[in-house]
Structure 1
Amino acid sequence: MQDKRGIFDNPKNVKLLLKIFFTSCVIIFLTDLIISKHPHYEWEKWTGFYAVFGFVACVILVLVAKYVLRPIVMRKEDYYD
């Protein structure tokens, strides 16, 4: 029987994908320095504002889902018995 391996099972593929991911993050951050902005608010002028804002929003979303929403929708293990 043939072993079915996915793309993420090979450590070389994972390292390559991580390098591509981090390189693209650096490139996107560097373009923030080059592209002229037309901000509505003062804090939008800060370098990397949207990167920091997106990261903080993602962390808050995960924490709210884990500690607020999960207890609301979670059922006991024998709920369907």
Structure 2
Amino acid sequence: MSDNHHSDGWFDKPENVRKMLRVFYVICGLLVLVDFIVHRHVYHDWENIPAFYAIYGFVGCVVLVLIAKEMRKFLMRGEDYYDE
């Protein structure tokens, strides 16, 4: 019996990744559109800005990435840290 039964995963095919990205983009667009239809009970005036939560989430993710890049400078260990 041979152990050579290597099969590519579903995400290894670029066309499948493109399909999934399109699905995610459509879902994000639909969620932004639903934001204009569904009535929300807001506590602050800035929550009335169209697509506020989409913008808030995007800005939050960008800020997290930028903070992580700066933290990497003093948290990162050398490549041979455990070999010493």
The TM-score normalised by the length of structure 2 is 0.85
Instruction: Say whether residues 1:32 and 2:35 are aligned partners.
Output: yes
Q: Gaps (5+ residues) in structure 1? A: none
Aligned equivalents of 2:44, 2:6: Cα separation in 1: 55
Greater C-alpha Rg: 2
Taking the aligned partners of 1:46 and 1:10, their CA distance within structure 2 comes to 39
Superposition map of 1:1-81 within 5 A: 1-67=4-70, 69-80=71-82, 81=84
How many residues matched?
80
TM-score normalized by the length of structure 1: 0.88
What SS is found at the alignment partner of 2:53? helix
Unmatched runs of 5 consecutive residues or more in structure 2 = none
CA-based RMSD of the aligned residues comes to 1.2
* 3-state SS in 2 of match to 1:58: helix
Deviation, structure 1 residue 3: 3.5
Runs of at least 4 residues off by over 4 Å: none
Deviation at 1:78, TM superposition (A): 2.5
Identity %: 44
